[in-house]
Amino acid sequence: MTEQATSKRRSTFNELTVSEVRSLTPDSIEVTFAVPAELAEAYNYVPGQYVALRKDIEVHGETKELRRSYSICAAPTVHEDGTGEVRVAIKRDLGGLFSNWANDHLKAGDVIDVMSPTGSFVSKHEMTSLNNPEGLAEDVLAKDEDMFVAVAAGSGITPIMSITRTLLEKNSSARVDLVYANKSATDVMFLEEIADLKDRYPSRFAVHHVLSREQRISPLLTGRIDEEKIQTLLGSVIRTDLVDEWFLCGPFELVQLVRDTLTEKDVPEEKVRFELFTTGPSAGRVEGQRGRAVEDTDGPSFQIDFNLDGLQGTVKSPKSARETILNAALRARPDVPFACAGGVCGTCRAKLVEGDVDMEENYALEKDEIERGYVLTCQSRPTTDKVLVDYDQ
């Protein structure tokens, strides 16, 4: 299942009904979508994956199709009747279009386009059993303790909730330390659920709330997580050398700081998983640019060929426009997959079969995927007259 879910299951949008909207904090909600039995397989997911939501929303009198990604925050659930559910948590982003619309308007009974789950922010540790529950070797199960550490900030807790819950539930030798940074206690999403996990697994789950605008008893847990604090946390509270796998999710600066610190401490890269929600204000801005460049048959053009769902598409892209493969391909096929358009989610991944491209940002593809020729089409511009990319591989 996991190979299919985490590698190349083509994500598709389906209409799902909101079954519940629950307030988590003054500026965040948890939204549950009901998954009918016939779609249960398509919406099966590995903890840590996300869905994209698509909605036409009126912005300054103009209707825009918005797509935003949201990590699934619950452990996978299939009910006795074969139906399932997908839960996401949406935090208001100051001035943000979709998150504020959702917090203000989304309610039970609404129907919205939800893309089937995708993403590679999932455990790659063979002992977690998350990736291969049936394949666990006896000697692996016999190990005393598997150590996992999650570092999250703000809404970055959502995939961590799904991963942590499943790890503790499914793997009785798992120990999870969660470092969770917020401004103040009222901003802490899933506060009760985190406390419940602590009650249920007192010896296997530890949480370290770090609050930047509130005084806590320990100075270590007060203030912003900066280099000094993370050095101390990783030196005293957490023994980095004993950790089997790391999960980092939050703003770019925090994730980068922790990654750099782990590298300094000789933690191998393959033990560190990270997910970024945004890299800056330009991420997610595709709705303004989509399909804008027009084919200019007189001037020089790139020829962009692409395979999608077994069909080949071709589009010409004026060299002067410097547009991405995604933007050009969307002119020919509106169902070309994308979500963030900012190089963070990986939905637009395709294999470069012919030609060459220049990929601007990449926060989604792993080293081995790049080596195998995968590119993010939302970030890639042709550098040869002809390129062929394959979304099906």
Ligand X SMILES: Cc1cc2nc3c(=O)[nH]c(=O)nc-3n(C[C@H](O)[C@H](O)[C@H](O)COP(=O)(O)OP(=O)(O)OC[C@H]3O[C@@H](n4cnc5c(N)ncnc54)[C@H](O)[C@@H]3O)c2cc1C
Q: Which is nearer to ligand X, 201 or 277 (CB)?
A: 277
Shortest Å, Cβ 162 to ligand X:
10
Q: Is 265 helix (H, G, I), strand (E, B) or coil?
A: coil
Candidates 14-22, 92-100, 206-214, 223-231 — which segment interacts with ligand X by CB under 6 A?
Answer: 92-100
89 CB-side CA count, 13 A: 22
Q: Which is nearer to ligand X, 228 or 360 (CB)?
A: 360
Asked whether 49 and 9 are in contact (CB, 8 A), the reply is no
Instruction: Confirm or reject binding of residue 68 to ligand X (CB under 6 A).
Output: yes
Residues found near ligand FES in the complex (CB under 6 A): 338-341, 343-348, 364, 376, 378
Shortest Å, Cβ 192 to ligand FES:
32
Assigned token pair, 311: 């069909």
Instruction: Confirm or reject binding of residue 284 to ligand X (CB under 6 A).
Output: yes
Shortest Å, Cβ 386 to ligand X:
31
Q: Which is nearer to ligand X, 84 or 159 (CB)?
A: 159
Spatial separation of the C-alpha atoms in residues 103 and 61, rounded to whole Å:
20
C-alpha to C-alpha distances, 75 to 48, 71, 130, 164, nearest whole angstrom: 9, 12, 11, 9
- From candidates 31, 84, 87, 91, binder to ligand X by CB under 6 A: 91
| Contacts of residue 75, Cβ cutoff 8 Å, sequence gap at least 6 | 47, 162, 165, 166, 169
Q: Which alpha helices (DSSP H) does the chain contain, by range? A: 2, 97-105, 138-141, 157-170, 191-200, 227-232, 252-264, 286-289, 325-332, 367-371
Which amino acid appears at position 94 of this protein? L
C-alpha to C-alpha distances, 5 to 39, 169, 248, 264, nearest whole angstrom: 14, 21, 21, 33
Asked whether 240 and 225 are in contact (CB, 8 A), the reply is no
Instruction: Confirm or reject binding of residue 103 to ligand X (CB under 6 A).
Output: no
Candidates 2-10, 91-99, 108-116, 305-313 — which segment interacts with ligand X by CB under 6 A?
Answer: 91-99
- From candidates 6, 32, 69, 379, binder to ligand X by CB under 6 A: 69
Shortest Å, Cβ 90 to ligand X:
5
Q: Which does 247 bind (CB under 5 to 8 A by kind): ligand FES, ligand X, none?
A: none
Q: Which is nearer to ligand X, 27 or 177 (CB)?
A: 27
Shortest Å, Cβ 375 to ligand FES:
10
**Residue showing tokens 């709330």:** 209
Reported as type and span, the H/E element at residue 352 is strand 349-354
Restricted to residues 165-224, the positions that interact with ligand X (CB under 6 A) are: none
Instruction: Confirm or reject binding of residue 330 to ligand X (CB under 6 A).
Output: no
Shortest Å, Cβ 49 to ligand X:
9
Instruction: Confirm or reject binding of residue 238 to ligand X (CB under 6 A).
Output: no
> Packing angle between helix 191-200 and helix 157-170, nearest 10 degrees?
20
- From candidates 148, 205, 277, 338, binder to ligand X by CB under 6 A: 277
Instruction: Confirm or reject binding of residue 343 to ligand X (CB under 6 A).
Output: no
Shortest Å, Cβ 233 to ligand X:
24
Restricted to residues 48-67, the positions that interact with ligand X (CB under 6 A) are: 50
Q: Which is nearer to ligand X, 54 or 209 (CB)?
A: 54
Residues 74-104 as b/e (b if ≥16 CB within 10 A, e otherwise) read bbbeeeeeebbbbbbbbbbbeebbbbbbbbe
Q: Which is nearer to ligand FES, 259 or 290 (CB)?
A: 290
**Residue showing tokens 């989604």:** 364
Q: Nearest to residue 18, comparing CAs of 81, 83, 112?
A: 112
DSSP string for residues in 271-306: GEEEEES-SSTTTTTHHHHTT-S---SSS-EEEEEE
Q: Which is nearer to ligand FES, 45 or 205 (CB)?
A: 45
Q: Which does 117 bind (CB under 5 to 8 A by kind): ligand X, ligand FES, none?
A: none
Pairing of strands 28-35, 13-25: antiparallel
Shortest Å, Cβ 110 to ligand FES:
24
Instruction: Confirm or reject binding of residue 281 to ligand X (CB under 6 A).
Output: yes
Can you give the binding site for ligand X, defined by CB under 6 A?
50, 68-71, 88-91, 93-100, 119, 155, 158, 275, 277-278, 281, 284, 340, 344-345
